[in-house]
Amino acid sequence: AQRVTQPEKLLSVFKGAPVELKCNYSYSGSPELFWYVQYSRQRLQLLLRHISRESIKGFTADLNKGETSFHLKKPFAQEEDSAMYYCALSPFSGGYNKLIFGAGTRLAVHP
């Protein structure tokens, strides 16, 4: 079964603290993994995807196939990072395919 698990509903940190939002997946093939972010009163938008290997807004995520994880990390959280973060899996690489979302983690960064 295809599944994305985000174990934390809420992650609360202080500004400047490191952040790690956990994501584990279950899929027998080679998935594409994504992190989407939803800021308050805004639509869902792509933050990063594993094949890009980019750092966006200071966030990075490494696909660990052995642990089937794709944790999102940032060394120093900022207040503007407060948002809802969704990890998502696309079952096939290439082409257009559906996204399976995790339950989401709300990140709250306090001053």
Residues for the chain: how many in total?
111
**Cβ within 8 Å of residue 12, ≥6 positions away:** 108, 110
- Residue 29: DSSP 8-state: S
Residues 89/33, Cβ–Cβ less than 8 Å: yes
In the list 59, 90, 107, 109, the residue contacting another protein (rule: CB under 8 A) is 90
String of b and e for 39-71 (b: at least 16 CB within 10 Å)? eeeeeeeebbbbeeeeeeeebebebeeeebbbb
In the list 71, 86, 107, 109, the residue contacting another protein (rule: CB under 8 A) is 86
In the list 74, 85, 102, 109, the residue contacting another protein (rule: CB under 8 A) is 102
Binding to another protein, residues 42-81 (CB under 8 A): 43-46, 49
Does 100 bind another protein (CB under 8 A)? Our answer is yes
Does 10 bind another protein (CB under 8 A)? Our answer is no
Does 17 bind another protein (CB under 8 A)? Our answer is no
Does 99 bind another protein (CB under 8 A)? Our answer is yes
Does 98 bind another protein (CB under 8 A)? Our answer is yes
Positions that interact with another protein (CB under 8 A): 32, 43-46, 49, 86, 90, 93-104
